[in-house]
Amino acid sequence: MKAGMKKKSALVWLILVLATLVSFFLAGPTEQTAPVSKWPGSIIILIAFIKVRLVMSYFMELHTSPRAWRVTFDLWMIVVCITLIYFYAFHGSKL
């Protein structure tokens, strides 16, 4: 592995770890009796999709694939992320 790629992989890994920690702290305590805002959960879902994008791009080398694959993957990610956040935020208690 080239030195530049190793450095970039380490940076992406660090970003993934930090994103995981942010998600952990956004989740908050588990014993809550008061109504909970939907914002932290929605942000956690968004962070999860950002993490998937980073893993696919840098560790599964999607960034070196043809443009059509990257665009298709990005569009799929956007649609699924928006759909999950929508159902979580507006229909979460009904599912």
pLDDT tens digits along 30-53: 666 555 678 888 999 999 999 999
Mean pLDDT rounded to a whole number for the chain: 86
Q: What is the mean pLDDT of residues 13-32?
A: 86
- Tell me the CA distances in angstroms from 79 to 2, 24, 51, 85, one per residue in order: 35, 24, 16, 10
Residues 50 and 56 sit within 8 Å (Cβ to Cβ): no
